[in-house]
Structure 1
Amino acid sequence: MFSANTYTHRRAELMHRVGRGLIFLLGNELSPMNYQDNTFPFRQDSNFLYYIGLDHPHLAAILDTETGECILFGDELSLDDIIWMGPQPPLTEQALVVGIQEVQPFDLLLEVLTAARKQNRAIHFLPPYRAENKINLAYWLHLPMLELTSSASIPLIQAIVAQRSVKTTEEIAEMDKALHTTKAMYLAAMKQTRPGIKEAQLAGIAEGIAVAGGGNLAYPIIMTVNGQVLHNHHHHNTLKSGQLVLADMGAETAMHYAADITRTWPVDGSFTQQQKEIYQIVLDAQMAGIAAMRPGLRNLDAHLTAAKVITNGLKSLGLMQGDTDEIVQAGAHALFFPHGLGHMIGLDVHDMEDLGEKYTGYHEGLERSTQFGLRSLRMARTLEPGFVMTIEPGIYFIPELIDRWQQEGRFNQYINYAALAAYRGFSGIRIEDDVLVTQGEPKVLGPGIPKEIGEIEALRS
């Protein structure tokens, strides 16, 4: 974990931003997979980690904006707990490591919250996403469960988004650790790729490296020869000559900072000419998107810049025609690029999205588009130094979508449907990096994972 000063400073700034009332931060509980004692791997709430830093279940904290005090609520281990889990430092000692002086039993939490309600003190809490926490919050705060999200504190959400959006030097260092592990995952998977191996074997190799790196996966691995399926978590296919492998994966450090990288490479030692042409368009779009990661510019504009590069590239191959600006404004390019350019990343692979997109990705006056493709852009707002964004354009040939649009006669003036017949079995290509917005040039984080055509072919051969 970070130093006590880091957590103390974070909490002090949060209380200053919120201004009044109690700030209630709730950690996560263990969650059963199929019976009570067989639980999913524990993952602490990211906001709790950011301000409290303690990474085990059954904890909560209350920050009093009037006194500046923080109380940690939790229970010491019983002898039965120690028999099954081994000895742990006392909770009071763990609290001191993160700068917290006062620890109370977890059961006292209800008493403290009830007293605050009787005094008509504001209790600021976040929208819950775990079933256990929804049940507890509804009980403690006397709120209907269906109203918890709408009753969550907007000042608290806005304060947290403002803080967590800007990554500190120590956070960037943690993300760099995740990216070093992720590079090892990619190099191993690329080197082991060959006709006859299964997607599952490559995914297993990569996951083992993530765990060996001291953390785990930041999200379930995508490792597929069907790259046209955007979130394809099936790994049952056997690789064949002539196919492409699209992998979207990232390690998470022991402190839970995430990496999120996508690469696409050939099953054979080199790309075909057709694959090279599409790959280079995607790479050009990604480089244009990275170059647009500058303070004062909107991520929406970076997305549109990448979309225009893709459109121009497809026009050069005879797959599209017409004025580029008109094509992108109409959304015709989304047949090939149906998702957003990227999202924020940090403690969450989609950072802070549990707090609501209208605070993390959009704001009043900048609403999410309803247009196909553009409506999938998760973050559109103005970039600031310290933001870390994924930049992940792609080109996909999705037979079902092509057939539907062709049958409906959509964008016949822009799309050469006849020429698409030669790409029907192509699958898809996506290239993704994690990029830090600075005062000057944007910085691609991590040690550098091969993505130029020559680099990939050299590695594959």
Structure 2
Amino acid sequence: MFKKEVYTERRNNLKAKMSGGIAFFPGHSESPMNAPANTFHFRQNSSFLYYFGLDFPDIAGVVDLDSGESIVFGDDVTMDDIIWMGPQPSMKERCAEVGVTDSRTYSELFNYIKKAVDAGRKIHFLPQYRADNKILMEALTGIRAAEINRYQSVELIKAVVAQRSIKDEYEIEELKKAAATGYNMHVTAMKMAMPGVWEQKIAGTIEGIAVAGGGMLSFPVILSQNGQTLHNHDHSQTLKEDRLMLTDAGAETGMHYASDFTRTVPVGGKFSDRQRDIYNIVLAANNKATSMAKPGIPYFDVHVEAAKVLASGLKDLGIMKGNPEEAARTGAYALFQPHGLGHMMGLDVHDMEDIGENYVGYDDEIKRSEIFGLAGLRLGRKLQPGFVLTNEPGCYFIPELIDKWESEKKFADFINYDKVKEYIDFGGIRLEDDLLITDNGAELIGDRIPISVEDVEKTMNES
């Protein structure tokens, strides 16, 4: 964890942003895999980690927004726990490490919340996404678990988003560690992408690199020669010559900060002319986005410019036609890139998505588009120094979507469907980097994973 002053300052800043009442942060409990004693790898709630830093189950935190007092509720381990887990610090000792002097047993949480409710105090809480915490909230507040998120605190959501969006120097160092592990994962995947190799062997190998890096995956590995399926977790196929392998993967550090990179490589280590043409269009869109990203620029505008690069490049190949800028603004390009350019990243790979994507990626000034493709953009608001985000343009040939649009004669003024059909077996390409917004622009987090055609081929063909 970070030094205790970091967590104390975060809680004090939260208090300064709020009007009063109590901010309640339930931590996570263990989640059984197939029996109570056989659990999935524990992952603490990210907002709890941000304010309290304690990475173990069955605890909860409170910030009294009127007095400024912070309290952690949790129990010391029993002798049975020690037998299985070994000796553990006391709750008082653990809380002192994060600047909390008031440690109480977990059962006291119920009386504490009841007294606050009886006194008419506002209980602020974030949206809950785990069933056990919804049930806990019902027990604490009397609000039915199924209805609990109707009572989420928008004031707290906005305050948390404002804080967690800006990464401090300690967080940036953790993100660089995650990027270093991600680099190793992707270079390894590149070198393994040879004909006859089972996709699962590569996916399992790079998952091991994430775990060996001290943390875990930041999300389940996406790796497939069927890259036209955006989140393809099926690793059952054997790689074939003349196909492309798309790998979207990242690691968490031991403190749960994430990386998220995507590379697409030619199976066997040599791009065909057709693959190279599409690849370089996507790379140009990626580089354009990085060059544009800076404080004060809406990421929506960066997305549109990257889409214009995509449409222009596809026009040069005869796949699209018409005005590239209009194709970008109307969503005609989205046949080839139906997702957004990127998202916020930090303690979560899609940072704070659990508390409301529209609060994280949009604001009162910039609202989410309803146009297909543009609507898929998770981050549209103006960039600020300290933002960490992904830059991930792509180009995909999705047979089912192509057939649907052609049957509807959709955007026929922009799309040469006869030419598109020549690429029906192409698959997909995505190229993703992680960016830190600085005072003057954007910089890559960590070393850039090989991305030019020349560097990818060179890396793949090294012994």
Q: Deviations over 1:29-61 (max 9, x none)?
A: 111122222211110000000000000000001
Deviation at 1:252, TM superposition (A): 0.4
Distance in 2, Cα, partners of 1:187 & 1:22:
47
Q: Provide the residue aligned with 1:75 in structure 2.
A: 75
Q: Provide the residue aligned with 1:90 in structure 2.
A: 90
Q: Provide the residue aligned with 2:343 in structure 1.
A: 343
Distance in 2, Cα, partners of 1:394 & 1:204:
24
Q: Provide the residue aligned with 1:41 in structure 2.
A: 41
Distance in 2, Cα, partners of 1:394 & 1:79:
54
Deviation at 1:148, TM superposition (A): 1.4
Q: Provide the residue aligned with 2:187 in structure 1.
A: 187
Distance in 1, Cα, partners of 2:295 & 2:441:
10
For residue 191 of structure 2, give the secondary structure of its aligned residue in structure 1: helix
Q: Provide the residue aligned with 1:447 in structure 2.
A: 447
Distance in 1, Cα, partners of 2:376 & 2:65:
38
Deviation at 1:291, TM superposition (A): 1.4
Q: Deviations over 1:94-116 (max 9, x none)?
A: 11111111110000000000000
For residue 20 of structure 1, give the secondary structure of its aligned residue in structure 2: coil
Q: Provide the residue aligned with 2:53 in structure 1.
A: 53
Q: Provide the residue aligned with 2:171 in structure 1.
A: 171
Q: Provide the residue aligned with 1:323 in structure 2.
A: 323
1:400 maps onto 2:404 in alignment: no
Distance in 1, Cα, partners of 2:146 & 2:380:
29
Question: 2:295–2:441: 8 Å Cα contact kept in structure 1?
Answer: no
Distance in 1, Cα, partners of 2:71 & 2:186:
43
Q: Deviations over 1:229-280 (max 9, x none)?
A: 0010000000011111100000100000000000000111210000000000
Distance in 2, Cα, partners of 1:356 & 1:190:
35
Question: 2:186–2:449: 8 Å Cα contact kept in structure 1?
Answer: yes
Amino acid of the structure 1 residue aligned with 2:129: Y
Q: Provide the residue aligned with 1:206 in structure 2.
A: 206
Q: Provide the residue aligned with 1:114 in structure 2.
A: 114
Q: What 5-or-longer segments of structure 2 have no aligned partner?
A: none
More moved, 6-15 vs 189-198: 189-198
Deviation at 1:364, TM superposition (A): 2.9
Give the TM-score taking structure 1 as reference length: 0.99
How do 1:250-261 residues align onto structure 2 when only pairs under 5 Å count?
Answer: 250-261=250-261
More moved, 253-262 vs 148-157: 148-157
Distance in 2, Cα, partners of 1:322 & 1:85:
65
Distance in 1, Cα, partners of 2:290 & 2:56:
37
Distance in 1, Cα, partners of 2:251 & 2:373:
28
For residue 412 of structure 1, give the secondary structure of its aligned residue in structure 2: coil
Q: Provide the residue aligned with 1:233 in structure 2.
A: 233
Q: Deviations over 1:102-159 (max 9, x none)?
A: 1100000000000001110111111111100000001101112232112111111111
Amino acid of the structure 1 residue aligned with 2:166: V
Deviation at 1:365, TM superposition (A): 4.6
Amino acid of the structure 1 residue aligned with 2:344: M
Amino acid of the structure 1 residue aligned with 2:156: L
Q: Deviations over 1:344-382 (max 9, x none)?
A: 000000000111123111123533222111111111111
Question: 2:75–2:106: 8 Å Cα contact kept in structure 1?
Answer: yes
Q: Provide the residue aligned with 2:13 in structure 1.
A: 13
Deviation at 1:421, TM superposition (A): 2.3
Q: Deviations over 1:197-248 (max 9, x none)?
A: 1110000110111101110100000110000000100000000111111000
Q: Provide the residue aligned with 2:159 in structure 1.
A: 159
Q: Deviations over 1:292-321 (max 9, x none)?
A: 211111010010000000000000000111
Q: Provide the residue aligned with 2:215 in structure 1.
A: 215
Distance in 1, Cα, partners of 2:198 & 2:236:
7
Amino acid of the structure 2 residue aligned with 1:128: Q
Give the TM-score taking structure 2 as reference length: 0.98
| Aligned residue pair count | 461
Distance in 1, Cα, partners of 2:64 & 2:328:
50
Amino acid of the structure 2 residue aligned with 1:445: I
Q: What 5-or-longer segments of structure 1 have no aligned partner?
A: none
Distance in 2, Cα, partners of 1:163 & 1:370:
28
Deviation at 1:64, TM superposition (A): 1.1
Q: Provide the residue aligned with 2:102 in structure 1.
A: 102
Distance in 2, Cα, partners of 1:450 & 1:28:
38
Q: Provide the residue aligned with 1:376 in structure 2.
A: 376
Deviation at 1:186, TM superposition (A): 1.1
Deviation at 1:329, TM superposition (A): 2.2
Q: Provide the residue aligned with 2:280 in structure 1.
A: 280
Distance in 1, Cα, partners of 2:252 & 2:145:
32
Distance in 2, Cα, partners of 1:229 & 1:340:
15
Distance in 2, Cα, partners of 1:84 & 1:160:
36
Distance in 1, Cα, partners of 2:177 & 2:367:
35
For residue 183 of structure 2, give the secondary structure of its aligned residue in structure 1: helix
More moved, 355-364 vs 261-270: 355-364
How do 1:408-419 residues align onto structure 2 when only pairs under 5 Å count?
Answer: 408-419=408-419
